[in-house]
């Protein structure tokens, strides 16, 4: 219910763990800790679940972005809080802005009229690979029963001439592909075969390995791009493998100046993930899936899982300070906006919080956590709404992924730009509309926005005069009618990594297409929090109260 | 969402109402035929499923409990998604719980699907001597708001099966699904599907 006349008192007032923020990492930690039998209080200052991982209505997204970006705003809790007793010190918490350069444009009023019919992801574009860690965790935690998924219908990669090529990601796709030459098909197939052989050989180590098939240790340590060159793969195929299957961010042909070189070993791992994802589920045709109602369903599913295991949920409850023991400097509890103090052994917080001033020396241990949560990079994100699909000629394609590899849109495009189109069958927008998520890793807002605009100019037409950069649009000679842009939100998000300390800080959404890196970081945090507990141990079938599927017919015929 | 196949209907049913109104007790009575005098706050049950036979079809209810998330008004939107039916439960011995039930009805009208079948259940009907909410008042409210009304007792089982049965009868039979169902991930190796996969 929306109304909050006053902040309710929370009972009990002591927990094993307090978690602040309901983003995906926090929700997984809350669910795993509850499953391990800990008493957990899960708070969120927002009126919705998901924090920076939410899916929101159009209006809520707009106001969330604005409220979490730097603008001259008076902090309602600026006065220094005092703990109720003298042995306790209070560190005041403030919201740190994670978003900047927020630009929201509306070209058609019909979009905001349907605000409530949108479920817009804050951290898009994002998908799950059928064999990735998110799927594994959903299954292990049994949170899978709360979420339904659909396939992403197809993937495309831009070839540098503005043409979108289908990504042939499996043998049958290679066979059916109409854009590849016969020789190219052979090259791609033999490369897939080589990788397959390598993976099988690695799996069967010590059981009479066919050594000939294993990629040499030397090659595994070298850059993946050099290995692809060694295999004599043409640029087009290389680009598909690097950017549309291994989903690399930085230009791998940039040599020494490339910021993040993918080694062959990791490249092969990413191909293996993609390979294992195709056909993992009998009813999922491709490698990629997306949750109906948006990515924000995932934190909700883990929160529900946590609640079922006894975790207490309180939304709309800001924490105003972290309480410490004055003598030891140890973490003690939190003070809520209601004035109530709640104690716990451990505290996990989402990275949108920081403390106001540097406290006394005794308290440095805890304040160190907030120092550690420094911005490690930036990410430009865009959300665009249209009334037509990128592929109107393919009526079956309502969702698709488009990759613009580095340098494919403009000469100094340093990183991949990824675009995800979703249709109303995923319940993320009104029927007849489409939502596009765009993202690119960047050094600064200027570069990031340039990437977003380049992709948008290539994808959409805008019915306003004189705003498009003509030097960019000239490159693209497409006769297709582009979808008209109705609404867009562009913003730059800070990247902050998780940190383990007396207070645990969870990571912000990263720039990847899947959750793998985030979930690795999250399970590491959980392991450090509770070294003796497993993150969702395998469930025995005896737990029948969990899901009663006995289907006993209760026949009360009328 | 109610989905159809060969006269079999799958329907998600959600329970709403104040803490202590007896939501879990109603479900336990319906699904397991049990009643516990001192039922703990809901912990441990994600959802139950139960199949009912009505005249022309079998209805498989997938019953979602609040898992306690209603305690501080923190129910997730996920809870309402695709629900074909809802039972709003109050305690006839508590006027407050009836007031809160009306708020839950408003919330459902805002969040839920417009074709949802809604039932208002005045629970703890066995505690007649402590009654604070008259059946007339509740029935009048239910009529005004398009709900059907019954007084129930999870303790004596009075009207419990009847509420679910009435919902089963009222579920729209040939309703086109608003959002085509997706897939629920089930950990079952995709045998034979490998043939179509990459690198093979």
CB contact at 8 A, A358 and A85? no
> How many Cβ atoms are within 10 Å of B111's Cβ, its own excluded?
16
Supply the DSSP symbol for A431: T
CATH numeric code, A14-97+294-376+497-529: 3.50.50.60
Residue with the larger pLDDT of the pair B197 and A278: A278
CB contact at 8 A, A490 and A446? no
Could you state, in order of their start, the residue ranges of all structural domains in chain A?
14-97+294-376+497-529, 170-277
pLDDT of residue A398: 87
Task: Collapse the DSSP code of B98 into the 3-class scheme (helix H, G, I; strand E, B; otherwise coil) and give the result.
Answer: helix
Q: Which residues of B touch A193 (CB under 8 A)?
A: 199
Nearest by CB to residue B196, choosing from A147, A172, A548, is A172
Distances (CA, A) of A213 to A191, A197, A237, A454: 12, 6, 21, 42
Chain A stretch 187-216, residues whose beta carbon is closer than 8 A to a beta carbon of chain B: 192-193, 195-196, 199
Do A142 and B46 lie within an 8 Å CB cutoff?
yes
CB contact at 8 A, A301 and A146? yes
Q: Which residues of B touch A149 (CB under 8 A)?
A: 182-185
Supply the DSSP symbol for A375: E
pLDDT along chain A (558 residues), means of 10: 68 96 98 96 96 96 90 51 79 91 93 93 96 95 92 90 82 75 85 87 68 79 93 90 94 86 94 89 86 97 94 95 88 94 96 75 71 87 96 83 95 95 94 96 95 95 56 48 94 94 93 96 96 85 41 34
What domains, with CATH codes, occur in chain B? 3-196 (3.40.50.300)
CB contact at 8 A, A301 and A30? no
Q: Which of B1, B55, B30, B48 is nearest to B123 (CA)?
A: B30
**A410 has a chain B CB within 8 A of its CB:** no
Supply the DSSP symbol for A163: P
Task: Collapse the DSSP code of A493 into the 3-class scheme (helix H, G, I; strand E, B; otherwise coil) and give the result.
Answer: strand
- Tell how far CA A541 is from the center of its chain: 32
| CA angle, A440 then A384 then A382, to 5° | 25
Do B184 and A195 lie within an 8 Å CB cutoff?
no
Chain A stretch 26-55, residues whose beta carbon is closer than 8 A to a beta carbon of chain B: 48-49
Q: In this structure, what token pair is assigned to residue A494?
A: 């800070």
| Locus of tokens 């997938």 | B62
| Statement: A170-277 belongs to CATH 1.10.3720.10 | no
Q: What is the DSSP string of A175-202?
A: HH-SSS-HHHHHHHHHHHHHHHHHHHHH
Q: In this structure, what token pair is assigned to residue A231?
A: 């295999």
User: What chain B residue is nearest to A191 in terms of C-alpha separation?
Assistant: B199
Chain A stretch 249-308, residues whose beta carbon is closer than 8 A to a beta carbon of chain B: 271, 274-275, 278-284, 289, 291-293, 297, 300-301, 303-305, 307-308
Minimum distance, in Å, between the CA of residue B139 and any CA atom of chain A = 23
pTM, to two decimals = 0.90
In angstroms, the CA A89 to CA A303 distance is: 31
> Can you give the C-alpha Rg of chain B in angstroms?
18
Residue B45 has pLDDT above 70, yes or no: no
| CA angle, A179 then A182 then A184, to 5° | 75
pLDDT of residue A484: 94
Question: In terms of DSSP bridges, do strands A14-20 and A341-349 run parallel, antiparallel, or are they unpaired?
Answer: parallel
Q: Give the ranges where A104-181 is alpha helix by DSSP (H).
A: 109-113, 133-141, 171-176
ipTM score of complex: 0.85
> How many Cβ atoms are within 10 Å of B164's Cβ, its own excluded?
25
pLDDT of residue A437: 98
**Mean pLDDT value of segment B161-189:** 76
Distances (CA, A) of A245 to A123, A165, A452: 20, 13, 21
């Amino acid at each position: 219910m929306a109304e909050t006349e006053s902040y309710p008192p929370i009972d009990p007032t002591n927990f094993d763990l307090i978690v602040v923020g309901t983003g995906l990492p926090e929700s997984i930690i809350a669910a795993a800790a509850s499953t391990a039998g800990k008493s957990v209080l899960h708070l969120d200052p927002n009126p919705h679940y998901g924090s920076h991982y939410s899916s929101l209505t159009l209006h809520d997204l707009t106001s969330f972005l604005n409220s979490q970006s730097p603008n001259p705003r008076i902090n309602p809790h600026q006065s220094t809080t005092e703990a109720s007793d003298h042995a306790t010190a209070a560190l005041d918490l403030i919201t740190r802005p994670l978003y900047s350069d927020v630009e929201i444009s509306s070209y058609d009023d019909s979009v905001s009229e349907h605000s409530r019919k949108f479920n817009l992801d804050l951290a898009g574009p994002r998908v799950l690979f059928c064999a990735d860690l998110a799927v594994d965790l959903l299954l292990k935690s049994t949170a899978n029963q709360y979420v339904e998924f659909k396939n992403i219908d197809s993937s495309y990669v831009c070839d540098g001439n503005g043409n979108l090529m289908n990504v042939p990601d499996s043998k049958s796709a290679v066979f059916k592909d109409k854009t590849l030459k016969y020789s190219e098909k052979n090259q791609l197939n033999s490369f897939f075969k080589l990788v397959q052989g390598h993976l099988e050989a690695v799996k069967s180590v010590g059981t009479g390995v066919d050594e000939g098939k294993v990629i040499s240790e030397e090659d595994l340590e070298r850059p993946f791009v050099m290995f692809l060159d060694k295999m004599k793969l043409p640029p087009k195929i290389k680009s598909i493998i690097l950017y549309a299957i291994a989903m690399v961010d930085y230009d791998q042909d940039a040599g020494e100046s490339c910021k993040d070189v993918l080694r062959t070993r990791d490249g092969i791992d990413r191909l293996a993930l993609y390979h294992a994802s195709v056909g993992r589920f009998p009813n999922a045709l491709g490698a990629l899936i997306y949750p109906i109602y948006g990515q924000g369903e995932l934190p909700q599913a883990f929160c529900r899982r946590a609640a079922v295991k006894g975790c207490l949920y309180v939304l709309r409850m800001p924490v105003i300070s972290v309480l410490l023991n004055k003598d030891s400097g140890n973490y003690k509890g939190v003070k809520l906006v209601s004035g109530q103090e709640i104690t716990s052994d451990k505290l996990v917080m989402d990275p949108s919080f920081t403390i106001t001033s540097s406290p006394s020396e005794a308290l440095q241990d805890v304040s160190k956590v907030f120092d550690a949560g420094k911005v490690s990079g930036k990410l430009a994100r865009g959300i665009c709404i249209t009334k037509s699909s990128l592929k109107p000629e393919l009526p079956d394609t309502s969702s698709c992924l488009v990759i613009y590899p580095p340098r494919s849109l403009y000469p100094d495009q340093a990183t991949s730009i990824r675009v995800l189109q979703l249709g109303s069958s995923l319940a993320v927008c009104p029927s007849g509309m489409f939502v596009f998520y765009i993202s690119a890793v960047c050094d600064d807002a200027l570069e990031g926005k340039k990437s977003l605009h380049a992709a948008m100019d290539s994808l959409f037409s805008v019915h306003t005069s004189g705003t498009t950069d003509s030097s960019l649009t000239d490159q693209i000679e497409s006769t297709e009618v582009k979808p008209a842009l109705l609404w867009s939100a562009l913003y730059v998000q800070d990247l902050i990594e998780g940190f383990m300390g007396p207070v645990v800080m969870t990571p912000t959404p990263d720039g990847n297409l899947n959750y793998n890196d985030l979930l690795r970081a999250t399970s590491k945090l959980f392991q450090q929090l509770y070294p003796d507990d497993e993150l969702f141990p395998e469930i025995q079938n005896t737990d029948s109260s969990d899901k009663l599927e006995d289907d006993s017919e209760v026949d009360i015929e009328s | 969402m109610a989905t159809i196949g060969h006269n079999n209907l799958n329907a998600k049913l959600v329970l709403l109402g104040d803490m202590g109104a007896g939501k879990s007790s109603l479900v336990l009575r319906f699904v397991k035929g049990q009643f516990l005098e001192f039922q703990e706050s809901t912990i441990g049950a994600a959802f139950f499923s139960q199949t009912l036979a009505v005249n022309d079809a079998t209805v498989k209810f997938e019953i979602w409990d609040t898992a306690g998330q209603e305690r501080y008004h923190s129910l997730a939107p996920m809870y309402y998604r695709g629900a074909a039916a809802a039972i709003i439960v109050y305690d006839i011995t508590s006027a407050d719980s009836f007031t809160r039930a009306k708020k839950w009805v408003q919330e459902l009208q805002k969040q839920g699907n417009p074709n949802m079948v809604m039932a208002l259940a005045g629970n703890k009907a066995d505690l007649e001597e402590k009654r604070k909410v008259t059946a007339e008042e509740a029935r009048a409210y239910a009529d005004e708001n398009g709900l059907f009304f019954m007084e129930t007792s999870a303790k004596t089982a009075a009207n419990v099966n009847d509420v679910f049965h009435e919902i089963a009868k009222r579920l729209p039979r040939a309703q086109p699904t608003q959002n085509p169902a997706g897939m629920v991930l089930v950990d079952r190796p995709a045998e034979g599907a490998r043939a179509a996969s990459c690198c093979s």
